[in-house]
Chains A and B, each alone.
Chain A
Amino acid sequence: MEAYIYDAVRSPRGKGKKDGALHDITPIDLTTQVLRGIRDRTGIDTADVDDVILGCVTPVGEQGADIARVAVLNADYAQTTAGVQINRFCASGLEAVNIAAAKVISGEADFAIGGGVESMSRIPMASDGGAWATDPAVAYHVYFAPQGIGADLIATKFGFSRNDVDAYAVESQRRAKIAWDEGRFARSVLPIRDVIGEVVLDHDEHMRPEADMQSLGSLKPSFQAMGEEMPGFDTVALLRYPEVERINHVHHAGNSSGIVDGAAAVLVGSKAMGEKYGLKPRARIRAMGSIGSEPMIMLTGPESIAQKLLKRAGMTKDDIDLWELNEAFASVILRYMQALDLDHKDVNINGGAIAMGHPLGATGAMVLGTALDELERSGKGTALINLCVGAGMGTGTIIERL
């Protein structure tokens, strides 16, 4: 059995702050609107949706208690549609799609929805605690340091300067602006409405197309103080990577992914389901999977999972037309392109999270949708979608346009 992608929708991304447009939309409301959106667009009977898998990285408070099942009920899906919330950190949204696909492939589900939600303005990142960072025996054992330290370590170890990462960020903003100006996301973005039905946001709010080298150059590194002074995470990094004399802290708010609110959903199903509803599959899933990588540097998983997926699919890198890697930090993409010897013109063609933001639990499903839109726009065939993941992992999916 094969798994087909029938549709992908996402909310626009609101600034993850108190003045963000989506700050007064609860995460359950955000998710409900996206689930209703994908149902209404495709016209399916939700009784055929066996399961809804939603990524959420901080599943506490109003994002807690299996938000997937609660959203299913709240969106008036069939009572028989199950729901499960998962957490693979930054790749949760893509992992949810992969699980949905796996359910279809295994015959467990006819239709399954994979997606995710994160209202970062309402539920602060990392507010769920966790043994990884806070149980001292564990943090010691696994060399815990925040992602930003790993990103700066990647830049230092693989030779990317502050100029390199800033230049990448400027280009991400430029590409995102072109994409929005040309309406390349129009098919996927579902405007979000408030309780009286007014549209509160219909575009990605975080973008700063005016950013240039000079404006980025004035920003202070975000991870220097926690690395070099208090509490001194660079020590942890050098214990794992003593070949680096000292870490060059190059990342800041302007060349790292933005903190935003958002939700997304992807409808995956069998061939028979498409035929039942007269839906033309938009893409086929060629390969999918996750991998673990060295957890201290944390963000080098994408190159490993890319290679693993190509091998699984019996493909080479030349068989991939479009590369999509979540822009967690500029150095992550620069290293990915360096490791796989990729041309920047084929990577993140429409910008990424540096410009548009990274709603942790939802991003994976969003970037899959972005890649799908771009394959259709450009007429290209294949895309490899990929995210770096906390605690040293990579999650990826290869799709083929139909």
Chain B
Amino acid sequence: MNKTIRFDVDSDGIATLMIDVPGQSMNVIGAQFLTDLSEAIDRLASEDAIKGAVIASGKSSGFMAGMDLKAMETMLLPPKGQALDMPTLFERVFVLNSILRRLETCGKPVACAIEGICVGGGFELALACHYRVVGDSAKTQLGLPEILIGLFPGGGGSQRFPRIAGVQTALMYMLQGKLFRPAEGAALKLIDAVVPSGSALDTAKAWVRDNPTANTQPWDRKDYRFPGGVGSMNPAFAQTFMGAVPMMLKQTQRNMHAPVALLSAVYEGAQLPMDRAIRIESKYFAKVLADPQARNMVRSLFVNKQAAERGARRPKDIAPAPTTKLAMLGAGMMGAGIATVAAQAGIEVMLLDRDMAAAEKGKAHASDVLSKRLGKGMTPEKMAETLSRITPVTDVADLAGCDFVIEAVFEDPAIKAEITHRVEAVLSADVIFGSNTSTLPITGLAKAWSKPDNFIGIHFFSPVEKMPLVEIILGKKTGAQAIAKALDFVAQIKKTPIVVNDSHGFYTSRCFITYVQEGTEMLAEGVNPALIENVGKQLGMPVGPLAVSDEVSIELGYKIMSAAKKELGDAYVASRADDVMEKMVVELGRLGRKNGKGFYDYPEGGQKSLWPGLADAFPHAALQPAPAHVRERLLYRQLVECARCYAEGVLTAPQDGDIGAIFGWGFAPYTGGPFSHMDTIGLAQVVETLDRLTRQYGDRFAPTAQMREMAEARTTFYAPDTATKAA
């Protein structure tokens, strides 16, 4: 009868609830599981022969992850087009809470045997048991990470965690979605026993056998005391919440709704008896769920990201093509970074540069990166093994036997063509060749490889070791073999790929630069630079636009602009941002962070601060724009460029656009990405705003014809019924 839980009773009268959700590699909470768990609790409560129960997983992958996020929307929300009815949503959300409450009050002791991953809803299930034992292994991860995808623990976790560990500790973990290991869980008192891997089930059974009356949670006992104190008159409790809001704002500005809801659920719930506390939690959870923000975040940050990593864009009929030996051309910052991550993934790397010193320097970079991780999961042995995979070379002939090439030499088409030819002479054009150019069109570069179908763009972000995204660029002739090879490599190094078509700056560089340009444009207009920078950060961008300009160097921007001017001649569209760069570089000698002087000053050992001279160089206008208007410009300038990429076919799927924006240039993650955000605002509204901004500031804000058609037809970038399906 039970499809997701196997229910067995042993000769001692101890029931084992073995969770094994069919069709899933990891146990997740879906509708069937809720039904099955409910029935199991009924049996547990009603059959006198059953003395107690142990909950465990039948899967080797771990105990349980959280909600089935792919099914969550259909499970809880009404079909598209139907109005959202809050009381109904609450009732649906409350099902899990009421089942878990029945579990902890069923009158029989229930132990939870955890092996491997136990996070989110899985951990909330564990918290509703009377005893938790964990098998200690490197795979074991515990905790409540819901906040990272725009949700919060809504299965009683926000109530039980504080009641066990105190509000301050609980908030620290839940607000950051911080996971922990078994020993840490035990120190937090969330885990009752840590035992050798594989023995959790036996320990749990023994506990039930030995504790036949341990059927009551601490918070249901008369002598219960809330750890650390509770109530608005308790100074520690009050102080915790007073501090929690600014700490949360530091991370999220005022952009995310789930952390505020979590704080309220804990603040209000902690002061109530458990039966009422879980209702409060479910009410806040329903509010968060009803908000498109959570759904957008879940879709981009979890569902579609995972789909991309599992090969959503990979040609299906090509056999797996993992790289075993990589030819890495160029041992500069990017080349060295790529060599490092490849070696870590077990790939042999021939790291080529013009002279041995340069090639060795690239390998030394790998050594630096790895040594910083010593003690944090890295051992000297593992490090030596990884480094042994990187061979610095200077002779192209040494590349023989490589099955994939990545080129990361100087951004000059002639230099790139020359090395491409030389490599082909050694490896033949049957090998797949990837170029890590950040702007040069792939179709042009591919001409240097005699089989352009085997040529592809593979754009990494700096620093490679940290940045999660790889932008795969298809030239006009790039073939399926090349796509499969590049995507398989990205999977090997455990990064997230997007696939885009060729264009100047491709997708990420082209759109990201608009943020910097618009900020610079405002500076030229006399907008207070502090306002520009703060609003940029408050919009959810990692840093302000002028700070970005300093980081990549104003001089570089100026050079690119000058080259474009020369190249395009009369066709070049001048902007006031150009004048700012020229003034900074030519007149003021402020080149950016690299010479310690840019839009900011960089005092040694001190915090950077905006250069006071900016007020003279670019006098403040008497009338300053409202922050909301600055925000609108910084946001919509990016949105319209993203939409252009979609209209021009640079992007073929909104999924790539959203993932690329968030993981490539840190575009406001709470939106779920620019396309999710435009869908949420509604295209009609987006077009109206862009039209207004176009009238005020010019054609760089002009919406595409496609956007107008979409607005007219009331359509969205994401097809409505595939909202949470994989790309």
| Chain A interface residues toward B at CB < 8 A | 127, 129, 131, 133-137, 139-140, 144-145, 230-233, 235-236, 238-239, 242-246
Bound CA–CA A242/B537 (angstroms):
10
Residue contacts A-B, CB under 8 angstroms, 16 given: A135-B232, A136-B260, A137-B260, A137-B264, A139-B242, A140-B254, A231-B244, A233-B246, A235-B249, A235-B250, A239-B253, A242-B531, A242-B538, A243-B627, A245-B529, A245-B533
| Residue numbers in A under 8 Å from B533 (CB-CB) | 245
Contact between A139 and B530, CB atoms less than 8 A apart: no
* A-B residue pairs, 8 tightest by C-beta: A231-B243, A136-B263, A242-B534, A245-B530, A134-B238, A231-B246, A139-B245, A231-B247
Bound CA–CA A135/B531 (angstroms):
29
Bound CA–CA A129/B231 (angstroms):
10
| Residue numbers in B under 8 Å from A136 (CB-CB) | 241, 244-245, 260, 263-264, 267
| Residue numbers in A under 8 Å from B530 (CB-CB) | 242-245
Contact between A230 and B534, CB atoms less than 8 A apart: no
Looking at the assembled complex, report how far the CB atom of A224 sits from the nearest CB atom of chain B, in whole angstroms.
13
Bound CA–CA A129/B243 (angstroms):
13
B624 within 8 A of A: yes
| Residue numbers in B under 8 Å from A133 (CB-CB) | 238, 242
| Residue numbers in B under 8 Å from A245 (CB-CB) | 529-530, 533-534, 609-610
| Residue numbers in B under 8 Å from A246 (CB-CB) | 609
B110 within 8 A of A: no
B233 within 8 A of A: yes
Bound CA–CA A243/B263 (angstroms):
29
Contact between B238 and A129, CB atoms less than 8 A apart: yes
| Residue numbers in B under 8 Å from A243 (CB-CB) | 528, 530-531, 534, 624, 627
| Residue numbers in B under 8 Å from A139 (CB-CB) | 241-242, 245
| Residue numbers in A under 8 Å from B254 (CB-CB) | 140, 239
6 additional contacts, CB 8 Å, given A131-B232, A139-B242, A238-B534?
A136-B245, A231-B245, A235-B246, A242-B534, A242-B538, A243-B528
Q: What residue in chain A is nearest B534 (Cβ atoms)?
A: A242
Interface string of B265-301 (1 = CB under 8 A from A): 0010000000000000000000000000000000000
Bound CA–CA A140/B256 (angstroms):
12
Q: What residue in chain A is nearest B630 (Cβ atoms)?
A: A242
When A140-B260, A242-B530, A245-B534 are in contact, do A134 and B246 touch as well, CB less than 8 Å?
Answer: no
Contact between B247 and A232, CB atoms less than 8 A apart: yes
Q: What residue in chain B is nearest A245 (Cβ atoms)?
A: B530
Bound CA–CA A281/B233 (angstroms):
45
Looking at the assembled complex, report how far the CB atom of B601 sits from the nearest CB atom of chain A, in whole angstroms.
12
B413 within 8 A of A: no
Chain A CB within 10 A, most for which of B244, B533, B609: B244
Contact between B264 and A239, CB atoms less than 8 A apart: no
Interface residues on B, range: 20 to 34
Q: What residue in chain B is nearest A230 (Cβ atoms)?
A: B243
| Residue numbers in A under 8 Å from B244 (CB-CB) | 136, 231
Bound CA–CA A25/B535 (angstroms):
51
Bound CA–CA A248/B140 (angstroms):
46
B235 within 8 A of A: yes
Bound CA–CA A166/B235 (angstroms):
33
Bound CA–CA A128/B214 (angstroms):
39
Bound CA–CA A232/B531 (angstroms):
19
Contact between B242 and A230, CB atoms less than 8 A apart: no
Chain B CB within 10 A, most for which of A133, A137, A233, A243: A243
Chain B 219-240 interface residues, beta-carbon cutoff 8 Å to A? 232-233, 235, 237-238
Contact between A129 and B232, CB atoms less than 8 A apart: yes
Looking at the assembled complex, report how far the CB atom of A64 sits from the nearest CB atom of chain B, in whole angstroms.
12
Bound CA–CA A335/B612 (angstroms):
23
Contact between B246 and A236, CB atoms less than 8 A apart: yes
Q: What residue in chain A is nearest B247 (Cβ atoms)?
A: A231
Bound CA–CA A114/B233 (angstroms):
29
Q: What residue in chain A is nearest B620 (Cβ atoms)?
A: A243
Looking at the assembled complex, report how far the CB atom of A193 sits from the nearest CB atom of chain B, in whole angstroms.
33
| Residue numbers in B under 8 Å from A233 (CB-CB) | 246
Interface string of B293-317 (1 = CB under 8 A from A): 0000000000000000000000000
Q: What residue in chain A is nearest B171 (Cβ atoms)?
A: A136
Chain A CB within 10 A, most for which of B237, B249, B529, B627: B249
Looking at the assembled complex, report how far the CB atom of A147 sits from the nearest CB atom of chain B, in whole angstroms.
13
Bound CA–CA A242/B253 (angstroms):
12
| Residue numbers in A under 8 Å from B246 (CB-CB) | 145, 231-233, 235-236
| Residue numbers in A under 8 Å from B241 (CB-CB) | 134-136, 139
Bound CA–CA A139/B538 (angstroms):
18
Chain B CB within 10 A, most for which of A140, A236, A244, A246: A140
Looking at the assembled complex, report how far the CB atom of A159 sits from the nearest CB atom of chain B, in whole angstroms.
13
Contact between A144 and B245, CB atoms less than 8 A apart: yes
Contact between B249 and A236, CB atoms less than 8 A apart: yes
| Residue numbers in A under 8 Å from B538 (CB-CB) | 238-239, 242
Looking at the assembled complex, report how far the CB atom of A139 sits from the nearest CB atom of chain B, in whole angstroms.
5
Chain A CB within 10 A, most for which of B233, B244, B246: B246
Looking at the assembled complex, report how far the CB atom of A327 sits from the nearest CB atom of chain B, in whole angstroms.
26
| Residue numbers in B under 8 Å from A129 (CB-CB) | 232-233, 238
Looking at the assembled complex, report how far the CB atom of B665 sits from the nearest CB atom of chain A, in whole angstroms.
21
Contact of B235 among A127, A140, A242 (CB under 8 A): A127
Looking at the assembled complex, report how far the CB atom of B255 sits from the nearest CB atom of chain A, in whole angstroms.
10
Contact of A134 among B232, B247, B534, B610 (CB under 8 A): B232
Contact of A135 among B243, B253, B267 (CB under 8 A): B267
| Residue numbers in B under 8 Å from A135 (CB-CB) | 232, 241, 264, 267
| Residue numbers in A under 8 Å from B267 (CB-CB) | 134-137
Bound CA–CA A188/B535 (angstroms):
52
| Residue numbers in B under 8 Å from A244 (CB-CB) | 530, 534
Bound CA–CA A145/B243 (angstroms):
10
Contact between B627 and A242, CB atoms less than 8 A apart: yes
Looking at the assembled complex, report how far the CB atom of A23 sits from the nearest CB atom of chain B, in whole angstroms.
20
Bound CA–CA A133/B253 (angstroms):
18
Bound CA–CA A137/B242 (angstroms):
11
Bound CA–CA A235/B624 (angstroms):
21
| Residue numbers in A under 8 Å from B529 (CB-CB) | 245
Looking at the assembled complex, report how far the CB atom of A16 sits from the nearest CB atom of chain B, in whole angstroms.
18
| Residue numbers in B under 8 Å from A134 (CB-CB) | 232, 237-238, 241-242, 267
Q: What residue in chain A is nearest B600 (Cβ atoms)?
A: A245
Bound CA–CA A23/B64 (angstroms):
59
Looking at the assembled complex, report how far the CB atom of B445 sits from the nearest CB atom of chain A, in whole angstroms.
43
Bound CA–CA A232/B535 (angstroms):
18
| Residue numbers in A under 8 Å from B243 (CB-CB) | 230-231
Looking at the assembled complex, report how far the CB atom of A243 sits from the nearest CB atom of chain B, in whole angstroms.
5
Q: What residue in chain B is nearest A145 (Cβ atoms)?
A: B246
Bound CA–CA A232/B260 (angstroms):
16
When A127-B235, A136-B244 are in contact, do A239 and B609 touch as well, CB less than 8 Å?
Answer: no
Looking at the assembled complex, report how far the CB atom of A370 sits from the nearest CB atom of chain B, in whole angstroms.
34
Q: What residue in chain A is nearest B244 (Cβ atoms)?
A: A136
| Residue numbers in A under 8 Å from B237 (CB-CB) | 134
Q: What residue in chain B is nearest A244 (Cβ atoms)?
A: B530
Bound CA–CA A215/B563 (angstroms):
59
Looking at the assembled complex, report how far the CB atom of A153 sits from the nearest CB atom of chain B, in whole angstroms.
13
Chain B 157-207 interface residues, beta-carbon cutoff 8 Å to A? none
Bound CA–CA A139/B244 (angstroms):
10
Contact between B263 and A137, CB atoms less than 8 A apart: yes
Q: What residue in chain B is nearest A227 (Cβ atoms)?
A: B246
Chain B 496-515 interface residues, beta-carbon cutoff 8 Å to A? none
Chain A CB within 10 A, most for which of B254, B533, B609, B610: B254
| Residue numbers in B under 8 Å from A144 (CB-CB) | 242, 245
Bound CA–CA A385/B237 (angstroms):
38
Interface string of B464-485 (1 = CB under 8 A from A): 0000000000000000000000
Q: What residue in chain A is nearest B624 (Cβ atoms)?
A: A243
Bound CA–CA A325/B24 (angstroms):
69
When A133-B242, A139-B242 are in contact, do A230 and B264 touch as well, CB less than 8 Å?
Answer: no
